[in-house]
Chain A
Amino acid sequence: MKQFDPLTRKKDNQPVRYLVVDDSVFARKSLAKMIESFGGQVVGEAGDGCTAITEYARTKPDIVLMDITMPQMEGIEAVERIVQEHPEARIVMVSSVGYQDNILAALQKGARHFVQKPVKPEALYEIIRYVLNDDGVTAPVGAGGEKAR
């Protein structure tokens, strides 16, 4: 997989910490590989919305990648509950179902962005950069030690 300029947290230059929420183990593994190529660290995983809420509270990640269609509790409800408790949460929806209504509902509940499956690593990288930069976190060091973009 293509390697990207590492995305790090502006405040301490540490890897960006991710919580990956998807009922498919394969989808979680696939996203974890992309995160690794972005220089990030997966600090938690969840297979449904309920577990996502407890994992968020436990791990306090910088970014949540959240599926929509899941058993027990769907992603949009989980977003609402997480953002109610943690308004600073940065959640990116990752779903194969890209209805306008779903996207709007997720954004209204507090999600920061949406990306449709199958996920292109380049697209996800740019979205994460956008979402992180929006909250003062950036990608300071490129592979060659230069300032990245």
Chain B
Amino acid sequence: MRMELIQPFIGSLDAVLAEMMKEPAKIVDLAMEEEGYRRKGLAASVTFKGQIEGRVILDMDPQAAVRVAGYLSGAEVDPAEPIVPEVVCELANMVIGNAVTQLNDRGFEFKVLPPEVLTEAQCEAAGQDSEATILCFETASGCVNLNIVMHYHSRRTRERTPVSVS
């Protein structure tokens, strides 16, 4: 996957966490993964369609999600409260929304679908078909991972179009 497609996600996660949690995020690892996606904590996924198609999963340590939920709601939060996955979903929405806005400014057109909290079963299905780029970030509240699968739709379409040979 080209770095120009990844860079907006790094900048966006840093900016969103800085605004929402008042703490910076440090990228500690970048890896490619071909095996199925395995959820590490609480996860939410955002799908986009258009010239670039794919999905991004934001996956947080449960204790990080609880801390963020507590910080953002201004009160101590129980890990079982529904607000915790809600916060992960909204963080995913903001990080991915900001990143795809930057990609759109660079000329890529696509439509973003609403974020979804991922269940265990959905996680297994989420990474079966493609190579993913994994970005691992460290924050004072815990680890945040972005699992990104993207491909150029137009190129894929061109590759499948039969070429006539005279």
Is B114's CB under 8 angstroms from A97's CB? no
Is B98's CB under 8 angstroms from A96's CB? yes
Contact of B74 among A1, A23, A118 (CB under 8 A): A1
CA distance A24 to B82 in the complex (A): 11
CA distance A95 to B114 in the complex (A): 11
**Chain B interface residue bracket vs A:** 20 to 34
Quote the shortest CB–CB distance from A19 to chain B (angstroms). Answer: 19
Q: Which of B73, B94, B100, B115 has most chain A Cβ within 10 Å?
A: B94
A10 within 8 A of B: no
CA distance A33 to B19 in the complex (A): 16
- Quick one: given A69-B113, A69-B114, A70-B114, are A26 and B97 in contact (CB under 8 Å)? no
Majority secondary structure, A binding face: loop
Is A69's CB under 8 angstroms from B16's CB? no
Is A69's CB under 8 angstroms from B112's CB? yes
Chain B residues with CB under 8 A of A95: 97
CA distance A24 to B91 in the complex (A): 10
Quote the shortest CB–CB distance from B100 to chain A (angstroms). Answer: 7
CA distance A116 to B93 in the complex (A): 12
How would residues 96 to 124 of chain B score, 1 for a CB under 8 Å from any chain A CB and 0 otherwise? Answer: 11101100110001001111000000000
- Quick one: given A69-B114, A118-B20, are A96 and B97 in contact (CB under 8 Å)? yes
**Chain A interface residue bracket vs B:** 20 to 34
Chain B residues with CB under 8 A of A27: 90, 93
Is A25's CB under 8 angstroms from B97's CB? no
Chain A residues with CB under 8 A of B105: 100
B56 within 8 A of A: no
Chain B residues with CB under 8 A of A25: 82-83, 86
By beta carbon, the residue of chain B nearest A24 is: B90
CA distance A101 to B69 in the complex (A): 32
Q: Which of A27, A96, A116 has most chain B Cβ within 10 Å?
A: A96
Sorted from nearest, which 3 A-B pairs have the closest CB atoms? A96-B97, A26-B86, A97-B97
Residues of A whose CB lies within 8 Å of any CB of B are 1, 23-27, 29-30, 33, 69-71, 95-101, 116-118, 120
